[in-house]
């Protein structure tokens, strides 16, 4: 007779409640945003007009706008925001993820969206105390820290770093180097102007000077890692300047300083330049270059988020093969509930808890609220299913273990990945 299969005594609190509590109360370390420390002033975007002219909404509004693109770009930010509010919120229901996000944020801030009154919403934001508003938004979003995207090549941002400022302790830094790798011809001249002895030819001396540049800015930013977005065609090894700069300068710098190198393949810039920042698209990336990097540099840690949905499964399998590869986020066009759910379930099934399910990519301060509320909802649903399946084996998960696991997913695992621990004592002298 089949042995009696007695289901283990379950925790009296329903699992879904326990998971939801862990998700809701575990703060997130948001490892990729385009937000700025308040010391950067206007560069830290905030308020309803910036929320409405977000490039995701610009792209969606242009699908209905029949006016010439330039007519829209000639408008003021307020006029653009009014047009987007009219087209995407009043003329038709705001059902897209980016539209719903604006409303999730407003509702969380206590603004009555049923009135649909843009003037009243503007009044609410202008009445906020800017000094308190930043921390209030991070707290409301359940975010402990955000990582900025900092570029020495940004003419508005660079002077603030060069002047120096008192850091807000919840704003971390990542050194973004797209111009260096993707437009070496121009960046070589820029580095020369900044006093680095570089030449267009990537000689050992030039590569040494590029490392000096990376060292100077890593120290100035106190950057946690370096990042670059890459076109789908990027591969390694290769004769491109990007591949040669990565091999000759970026990887040695990251290995020497212990910073991960975050690669973000799959973006096709300027698919429709008329849309300006909203005009970028996606392409299927070749991942063998990433495999070759992980294999050639086992002591360097690579964090990766790929933009094409179709790359995600191969990327998960690659992460199973290389412990120096950490996957993060549902980037950009993947940051939708259906795709977050699909990717989080696949990653958990294949990688356990050794990845980072999400980053917000927020460009406007208050977006943190909706991007994390929407992501927590989806990640929570996947984890309920995950732990329910686990507990049906008889294994039980305590509340403390749930909080531990969620903390790992919400930044703890990326922090562990980013700081190499010494080998365990037992392994040291073998
Ligand atoms: O390159 C990137 O970091 C992307 O995230 C782009 O900034 C993009 O415009 C974006 O904001 N995506 O969410
Ligand atoms: Zn980004």
- Residues ≥6 apart with Cβ < 8 Å to 73: 276
303 phi/psi in degrees, rounded to 5 = -105, 135
Residue 35 in contact with residue 148, Cβ under 8 Å? yes
H/E stretch holding 302 reads: strand 302-304
CA of 36 to the centre of ligand 1 (A): 14
| pTM across the whole model | 0.95
pLDDT at 4 over 90: no
For residue 352, CA distances in Å to 249, 316, 327 come to 33, 11, 12
Task: Name the β-bridge partners of 146.
Answer: 30, 171
Which ligand places an atom closest to the C-alpha of 335?
Answer: 1
pLDDT at 8 over 90: no
For residue 118, CA distances in Å to 81, 103, 127, 130, 340 come to 9, 12, 14, 20, 31
Report the candidate in 118, 138, 134 with the shortest Cα–Cα distance to residue 49: 118
For residue 285, CA distances in Å to 105, 144, 233, 306, 335 come to 33, 33, 6, 8, 18
Atom of ligand 1 lying closest to residue 227 CA:
3
- Region 348-358: what's the mean pLDDT? 99
- Ligand 1: which residue has its CA nearest to atom 11? 361
CA of 231 to the centre of ligand 1 (A): 13
- Percent of the chain whose predicted confidence (pLDDT) is above 90: 93
The strand pair at 267-268 and 281-282 is best described as: antiparallel
pLDDT at 7 over 70: no
pLDDT at 5 over 80: no
pLDDT at 3 over 80: no
- Residues ≥6 apart with Cβ < 8 Å to 89: 99, 102, 116
pLDDT at 348 over 80: yes
Enumerate domains of the chain plus CATH numbers: 29-413 (3.20.20.140)
Beta strands in 237-300 (DSSP E): 261-265, 267-268, 281-282
pLDDT for 363: 98
């Amino acid at each position: 007779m089949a042995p009696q299969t007695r289901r283990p005594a379950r925790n009296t609190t329903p699992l879904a409640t326990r998971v939801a509590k862990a998700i809701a109360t575990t703060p997130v370390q948001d490892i990729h945003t385009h937000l700025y420390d308040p010391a950067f002033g206007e560069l830290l975007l905030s308020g309803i007009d910036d929320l409405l002219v977000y490039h995701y909404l610009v792209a969606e509004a242009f699908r209905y706008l029949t006016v010439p693109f330039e007519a829209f770009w000639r408008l003021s930010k307020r006029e653009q925001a009014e047009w987007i509010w009219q087209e995407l919120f009043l003329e038709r229901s705001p059902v897209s993820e980016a539209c719903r996000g604006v409303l999730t944020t407003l509702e969380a801030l206590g603004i009555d969206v049923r009135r649909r009154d843009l003037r009243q919403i503007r009044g609410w934001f202008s009445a906020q105390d800017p000094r308190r508003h930043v921390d209030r938004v991070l707290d409301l979003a359940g975010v402990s820290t955000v990582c900025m995207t900092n570029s020495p090549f940004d003419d508005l941002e660079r002077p603030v770093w060069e002047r120096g400022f008192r850091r807000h302790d919840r704003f971390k830094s990542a050194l973004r180097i797209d111009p260096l790798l993707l437009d070496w011809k121009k960046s070589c001249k820029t580095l020369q102007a900044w006093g680095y002895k570089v030449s267009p030819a990537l000689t050992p001396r030039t590569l040494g000077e590029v490392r000096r540049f990376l060292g100077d800015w890593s120290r100035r930013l106190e950057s946690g890692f370096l990042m670059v977005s890459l076109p789908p065609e990027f591969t390694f090894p290769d004769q491109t300047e990007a591949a040669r700069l990565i091999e000759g300068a970026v990887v040695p710098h990251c290995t020497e300083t212990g910073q991960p190198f975050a690669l973000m393949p799959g973006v096709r810039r300027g698919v429709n330049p008329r849309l300006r920042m909203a005009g970028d698209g996606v392409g299927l990336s070749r991942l063998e270059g990433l495999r070759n990097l992980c294999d050639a540099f086992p002591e360097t840690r690579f964090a990766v988020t790929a933009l094409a949905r179709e790359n995600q499964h191969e990327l998960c399998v690659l992460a199973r093969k290389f412990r120096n590869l950490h996957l993060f986020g549902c980037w950009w066009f993947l940051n939708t509930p259906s795709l977050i759910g699909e990717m989080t379930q696949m990653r958990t099934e294949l990688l356990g808890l050794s990845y980072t399910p999400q980053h917000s990519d927020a460009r406007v301060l208050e977006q943190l609220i909706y991007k994390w509320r929407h992501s927590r909802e989806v990640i929570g649903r996947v984890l309920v299913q995950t732990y329910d399946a686990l507990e049906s084996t008889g294994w039980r998960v305590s509340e403390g273990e749930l909080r531990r696991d969620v903390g790992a997913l919400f930044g703890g695992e990326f922090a562990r990945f980013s700081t190499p621990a010494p080998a365990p004592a037992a392994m040291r002298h073998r």
